[in-house]
Amino acid sequence: MANRALLTRSCIIALVITACADTGFAPESTNHAPRFAHQPPLEVLHDQQYTYNVAVTDDDGDVVVIGAPEHPTWLALDSVDMVLSGIAGEANIGDHPVKLTASDGHTITTLQFTVVVSPNLASLRFDGSWVPAGFWFGHDTLTYESDNFIVHSGFSRPEEREYVATVLEDCFVELQASLDITNHDEFEYPSTGTDIDVLTLKHQGNDVLWTGQSYRYGLIVHAPDSPRYATEGYTRPLYRQLLKHELMHVTEYLLIGTDGDYTSTEKWLHEGIATYLGGTPPNQVTRDHQVQAWQDAMRNFSGGGNPISIKTWSDFPNEFTADAEVLGEYYMFFELAVRYLVDPQGHGRSVVDIKNMYLDIRRGDSFTQAFQNRMGLSVSQYEEDFFEIMMQYLK
């Protein structure tokens, strides 16, 4: 009897479990995560309105709350109207990560994206001192001023403008020491004042042949954070050489005075002294066989590759005016021509003699007169004997 009672109790329990299963008890239904209905815009011009109308869907009909745990300060989320919007300023040009969330109380969905703020070139001002000089480039309003320089730009970062000014101040001191300029009394500044304008191009001028350019009141270079320098692999030391090179041109103008311009000295010396004092060029000519190879390669072209024959820009052979590589080789020979003149083992003059030559031009001498007086050598004779002199100098 005891065994039959135990069996009966087991059967009753089993029936209860089955009955519970049959009466509709089931696992909790699966929640569906909310979804962002469409992708946000990923680009905007600075000073232009950015708007993302956030739309989410939820298959369960749950109330969804959106949030923005990560976003730039110029963007704001209206969680009631479901709008992410704002206007980026000049200082906001660049990439800005954004993270939005959508929560239905059970699951959080995250949307991450990057808004790229590009410069609105239409907002550039075209009133810099370089515009009357024939360079039609604009600038924004975020200048950086140091003792001698005002650095303008087309949306370069503020820290990069400061870097340019700092390097130029150092280079200015170095150039004045090399030229034995003890104070600025030897400079004749234009009526606009003593500040030297610097324009650093970031989002404009990428199609120009030159990497730097000087003019009567200042210099123009690409910004150190420009796309051009990023793709061409510019290093900070090379960029410093470029700044010092162009600043030497401006220093030349200040010494020659307001009546002078880039035609007051011949092209070969104008570029040669800037390359010589700007820093050792990576392709510097140091051996006689380099001179011979250049002479052989250029024999059939106008001027035969003689750097002293390049007195103005128009004297470059027509075949090379758009060939940056060959023009760069000319600059190496311009540097060699000046190096020989100021080397104690060469002609034995100095860069101070070149400075005094500039001052002679300012007082009214022609370039050929001033060169003869200070170098003790005629320009025409130097041109005629150039290759022979260099072969002896570099042996």
Same domain flag for 130 and 113: no
CA dihedral 79, 82, 87, 92 (to 10 degrees): 70
How far apart, in whole angstroms, are the C-alpha atoms of residue 52 and residue 84?
A: 5
How far apart, in whole angstroms, are the C-alpha atoms of residue 368 and residue 377?
A: 10
Same domain flag for 174 and 151: yes
SS3 of the chain: the string is CHHHHHHHHHHHHHHHHHHHHHCCCCCCCCCCCCEECCCCCCEEECCCEEEEECCEECCCCCCCEEEEEECCCCEEEECCCCEEEEECCHHHCEEEEEEEEEECCCCEEEEEEEEEEECCHHHCECCCCCCCCCCCCCECCCCEECCCEEEEECCCCHHHHHHHHHHHHHHHHHHHHHCCCCCHHHCCCCCCCCCEEEEEECCCCCCCCCCEEEECCEEEEECCCCHHHHHHCCCHHHHHHHHHHHHHHHHHHHHHCCCCCCCCCCHHHHHHHHHHHHCCCCCCCCCHHHHHHHHHHHCCCHHHHCHHHCCCHHHCCHHHCCCHHHHHHHHHHHHHHHHHHHCCCCCCCCHHHHHHHHHHHHCCCCHHHHHHHHHCCCHHHHHHHHHHHHHHHCC
End-to-end CA distance of the chain: 127
Same domain flag for 246 and 276: no
Same domain flag for 89 and 180: no
Q: Is the pLDDT of residue 325 over 90?
A: no
Number of C-beta neighbours around residue 362 at 10 A: 19
pTM recorded for the entire structure: 0.80
Q: If you search the block for the tokens 């191009």, which residue do you land on?
A: 201
Q: Are 196 and 149 in contact (CB under 8 A)?
A: yes
Between 323 and 330, residue with greater pLDDT: 330
For the stretch 115-172, pLDDT in tens is 999 989 899 999 999 999 999 999 998 999 999 999 999 999 899 999 999 999 999 9
Same domain flag for 74 and 187: no
Q: Is the pLDDT of residue 374 over 90?
A: yes
The per-residue pLDDT for 28 is 54
Q: Are 307 and 320 in contact (CB under 8 A)?
A: no
Structurally, the chain folds into a number of domains equal to 3
Residue 287 is part of which domain span? 263-395
Q: Which long-range contacts (CB under 8 A, 24 or more apart) does 376-384 make?
A: 376/349, 377/341, 377/347, 379/266, 379/308, 382/308, 382/337, 383/306, 383/308, 383/309
Same domain flag for 96 and 198: no
Between 85 and 192, residue with greater pLDDT: 85
The per-residue pLDDT for 326 is 86
The per-residue pLDDT for 324 is 77
Number of C-beta neighbours around residue 46 at 10 A: 22
Same domain flag for 237 and 303: no
The per-residue pLDDT for 13 is 26
For the stretch 25-64, pLDDT in tens is 444 568 999 999 999 999 999 999 999 999 999 999 999 9
Instruction: Give the range among 4-8, 192-196, 267-271, 352-356 with minimum mean pLDDT.
Output: 4-8
The per-residue pLDDT for 231 is 79
Same domain flag for 238 and 273: no
Q: Are 255 and 186 in contact (CB under 8 A)?
A: yes
Q: Are 178 and 111 in contact (CB under 8 A)?
A: no
CATH at residue 73: 2.60.40.10
pLDDT band at 17 (very low <50, low <70, confident <90, very high): very low
Same domain flag for 96 and 142: no
Last residue of a domain, one of 88, 121, 154: 121
For the stretch 188-237, pLDDT in tens is 998 888 999 999 999 888 778 788 999 989 999 999 998 888 778 789 99
Q: Has residue 15 been placed in a domain?
A: no
The per-residue pLDDT for 24 is 42
pLDDT band at 281 (very low <50, low <70, confident <90, very high): confident
How far apart, in whole angstroms, are the C-alpha atoms of residue 340 and residue 358?
A: 19
For the stretch 94-103, pLDDT in tens is 899 999 999 9
What percent of the chain is modeled with pLDDT above 90? Answer: 75
CATH at residue 217: 3.30.2010.30
Structural tokens at position 141:
């309003």
